[in-house]
Structure formats: structure tokens, C-alpha cells
Amino acid sequence: MSNNTKKQLPSGLATETLAVRAGMDRTHHREHSEAMYLTSSFVFENAAQAAVMFSGEEEGNVYARFTNPSVTLFEERLAALEGAEACIATASGMAAITAMIMANLSAGDHIIASKSLFGSTIQLLGTILPRFGIETSFVSLTDPAEWAAAIRPNTRLLFCETPSNPLTEIGDIAALAAIAMRHEVLLAVDNCFCTPVLQKPMDLGADIVVHSATKYLDGQGRVLGGAVCANKAIVEKIFVFLRTTGPTLSAFNAWVLGKGLETLAIRMRAQSAAALELAQWLEAHPAVERVYYPGLPSHPQYALAQRQQSGGGAIVSFEVKGGKDAAWRVVDSCQLLSITANLGDTRTTLTHPASTTHGRITPEARAAAGIKDNLLRMAVGLESVIDIRNDLSLGLPA
């Protein structure tokens, strides 16, 4: 959790500037790049200082399960980018989502969440939290009326991920925020796919933003991490939960993620622009049946995406003519793209959701979710668009 004792930056700075400047705290060595604080504990001047810092009467680092300067830097930088009052980092994206819920909800409380969520998030909400008395109703991401209708007296949290994976459906954050405000419940948005560079959920009324920093915030496929951005009161509750239960971010990973944020804006814009070019090319390709990309006018929620996001993002999904065999042929013909379900890397990845990320659910459930056997999901990286196109062409009959 950030202590906010640092030199103030001028106000009104742009995202790009905050990404490379926010959170900096030089030591007496006057280093230009951030120091990495590989230390598990911190020493005190005397017994009295130890006492006031342990009690929390005075702010200061005590033990790295509580705070660490490398972690604080990443938290302050991400809070600045999301336009949040505060931020708290976690060991992974799932730790962020779990801590956010465990710190704010109790047995007997109710969550409303979109159906199309990250697999482990569905597992958490659908099977683990019910054992602790927290129930979730799953509703359509694209229909705010379903959310409003699912509200109960014990509802405490609305939770969505937009755009969704892999079909890139868009949730209307402002509409969900209005429902949350009317019923005095919290709205949390998983902003993993867009990052604050392309979408600022808090500006649209969200109370909480959660991140898997493992994806675009690192952006180079190196470390796991997560974060929750919110107001100080919510972040303080999560801090107490994390300090006690321990899934905190390591100093090393925090340092890597802080550097990742420095190039986030330039990477996101480049990857999003490349994704749009590839989506347009795929849409015109005779071997492609359908393309799912929020930046294409053919996307059912193109207008909402234009309003809510400043780019379509880097995830392009598409259906290949000829069923599963044709889709697998594209994957197996690639000489360049990585066959992996990971996303948010500088290297373009390609996956067949029906047999990987969505392979363990029944064919009926898959059909209901709209995941067809001929669907492929591509997470566009930083290679040349021409090289990516040539690689896909190897398995797509002209």
C-alpha cells in the first residue's frame, strides 16, 4: 500500500508522462532508474520508532508482507494511470480478485457477475466462495437490464470483465455504474484487456479496478502480478487482508512491473493498431467466416466500444471456414506465432479456445457461450503486421 510521502509531480500530467515518472523515490545514491529493494524486513532507529511503526501510528516500512518500496512504486504508478486514489499490489491477478472480494464481502453477501469471465474467476465465484457463504448470480455482460433484475437486498458487488475473452463482447461500464449507485453496491471492473491506456473504468463510475499485471502491465511475459485500484478506504481494507493472509507482490516482480508500465502506452497503442489492421485483413479473407474485434464496424457493440475505449485492444478472435480441422490447420501451419493461451506479450500468441481455455466445459456449455469449434483467438504482439499476416496465411486457403 502506498504511503504517499514522495515528491509531488506537477498536476494534470498525461498518461504517458505518469507512466514513466509517477511513484519515483530516489535514495541518497541519486540513481536515475528505480532501485530494487530486495529486503524482507526493515530496521528501526530505536525501540520507540519500532513501536510506533509496528502500531501503525507512524507510517514506515516494517516487513515486506506489509509494504516494500519497490511494491509501493508500482502501486503509485498504476494508481496514477487509472486515476485512482490508491492501489494495492498482489502476487497475481487471481490474488487481486480474491483479496478484493474477501476484504469487502462477508458470508451472506451476494455478487452479480458477467458470465464471460476469466476461467479461474468463474471457478472462484462459482465453487470456492459459495463454501464461505458468498453466492454469485451470472448474467449477460451485454444486457444491463439483467444486472438490474438480479439485484437482491444482500447484493454487495457487481463484477465484470470488458472486453470479454475470447469473443470481445463489451460491457457498458457507465450503465453498470448507474445500477451500482442506485442500489448502493460496488462496481468492480477487471481492466486486464484494455489497461488504463485504452479504458479508464473509474472515469466511467467504477469503484474498483482489478488487474492481472501478468498480462499487458508487464507486457513482456516475465512475471506474475496483480493489483486493485480503488479509494483509500477500500484499499486499506484489502491491505489489512493481504498483510494478514500474505499473497503480496514480491519486490523483484514489482520492480519488473514498474518498468513494464513505462512502456505500456506505446505498446498498447502499437498492439491495438496492429490488431485493427489484422482484423480488417481477416474480415476480408475468403477463408474466414467471422471476426470478433471491437474496433470493426461489424462488431455488434462498435458504437459503445468507440465511446468507452480509445482503441479496440490487441485481442482478435475469428472463425475459420471448415470447422475444427481448418482452425487447427491455421495453428499448426504457423512458423512464427506462439501456440499458447497466454496474452499481453510482445510476441503474438494463437490459441484454439474450444480445446484449450474452454476445453473442460461441456460442448453444450461451450455452444451456449458462443465458443465454436472453428474459433481462434489471437493476442497481437509487436512483430510486423506483414510477418503476422504471412504466418496466418500459411494455414488459410487463399
Q: Give the binding site for ligand PLP (CB under 6 A).
A: 92-94, 118, 121, 161, 190, 192, 212, 214-215, 224, 226
Minimum CB separation from ligand PLP for residue 64, in Å?
Answer: 20
Residue 88 CA to residue 200 CA, distance in Å, equals 17
Q: State which residue, 227 or 278, has the beta carbon closest to ligand PLP.
A: 227
CB of 218 to ligand PLP, least distance (A): 9
Give the bridge partners for 158, in sequence order: 112, 187
Which residues are CB-neighbours of 301 under 8 A, at least 6 positions away? Answer: 142, 169, 170, 294
C-alpha cell at 386: 506483414
- If you count them, how many residues does the chain have? 398
Q: Supply the minimum distance, in Å, between the C-beta of residue 384 and ligand PLP.
A: 25
Q: Cβ closer to ligand PLP: 224 or 229?
A: 224
Contact of 247 with 92, CB cutoff 8 Å: yes
Complex with ligand PLP: residue 41 or 123, whichever CB lies closer: 123
**Alpha carbons 372 and 363: distance in angstroms, whole number:** 9
The residue among 91 and 396 lying less far from ligand PLP, judged by its C-beta, is 91
Which sign does the torsion angle of CA 29, 33, 37, 38 carry? Answer: negative
211/366 with CB nearer ligand PLP: 211
Strand segments (E) across the chain: 86-90, 110-114, 135-139, 155-161, 186-190, 208-212, 226-230, 288-292, 315-320, 338-339, 349-351, 375-379
Please identify, using beta-carbon distances, which residue of 116 and 374 lies nearer to ligand PLP.
Answer: 116
Closest by CA to 147, choosing from 126, 167, 173, is: 173
Beta carbon nearer to ligand PLP, 211 or 299: 211
The three-class DSSP label of residue 90 is strand
The residue of the chain with the least Cβ separation from ligand PLP equals 93
Largest interatomic CA distance in the chain: 76
Sign of the dihedral through C-alpha 318, 349, 15, 247: positive
What minimum distance in Å lies between the beta carbon of 42 and ligand PLP?
Answer: 27
214 vs 374, which CB is nearer to ligand PLP? Answer: 214
CB 268 within 8 A of CB 283: no
Q: Closest distance between ligand PLP and the C-beta of residue 278, in Å?
A: 20
Minimum Å distance from CB 140 to ligand PLP? Answer: 17
Query: Which is nearest to 147 in space by CA: 166, 175, 121, 169?
Result: 175
Which of 224, 238 has the CB closer to ligand PLP? 224
Put the strands of the sheet holding 226-230 in their side by side order.
86-90, 226-230, 208-212, 186-190, 155-161, 110-114, 135-139
CB of 214 to ligand PLP, least distance (A): 4
